[in-house]
Amino acid sequence: MSVIEFQNNKSGGAACWRTHGTWSAEPTCEKLKFVTHCRNCDVFENAARQSWEKKNNKNESGLTVFSIEDLIEKEKTAGDRSVLPFRIGEACFAVPSESILTITDHVAIHTVPFNKNPVLKGLVAINNEIYSMVNLAQLLKITVSLNNIDSQKVLYKRVVVLNMGQRSIAFHVDEVHQIHRYFEKFLRDVEESDRSCERLSKGVLDNFGQWDTDCCLLDLDALQQHFENELSA
């Protein structure tokens, strides 16, 4: 079977080596009797070569040629700044990675006597340090709704300890993502319709497949000042 024949006859968009080849649950390809493994097959080899050539287009001089879209996407996936994105309900937020002191699992929350402020949930002890446990959703004035969250996604709350400069706080998040690098010039302004990100934010990082939605980069100075104001209210 040639690559063209394979492309015209593949079932469900899956490659033959995954549907009935070496990487399938029940290999039934007759060519395996002669080649033993799909990596020795000309169909696999030609498909790999075509995939490589598609990603590395070369001109007549043998130089690799990238489209403008490829260059823009490549630059956006790099960056000289890094943040830690996390999810609270359906909203995605991020803070500078260097401001993260630690991330841990469940911790016991000790109530503060006579506290009636819903932003302050209590005190926690993490790594022999005492931190204020903050209801970040309440502090950011966002409504936590899980209606559009994938039902197969298990919510596994983590505790993030954040250094805001003059004060460090702890708060629960529903999901912690991987460290993300970006260039500041790709940070766009907050749109008026983006209610979950219009306050205490430096800007928005576009979602390039890393998260379920665009990500708001929090302004730690503004966040700390807002927290202090809430405590004194």
pTM: 0.63
CA atoms of 165 and 161, how far apart (whole Å)? 12
Which residue intervals of the chain bear CATH 2.40.50.180?
81-232
Which residue stretches of the chain are H helix?
Answer: 3-9, 16-19, 32-35, 42-55, 68-76, 136-139, 220-232
Q: Which CATH architecture has domain 81-232?
A: Beta Barrel (2.40)
Instruction: Walk along the chain (233 residues) in steps of 10 and give the mean pLDDT of each run.
Output: 40 72 84 78 76 55 55 64 90 93 90 91 93 93 65 66 94 90 85 68 84 90 92 82
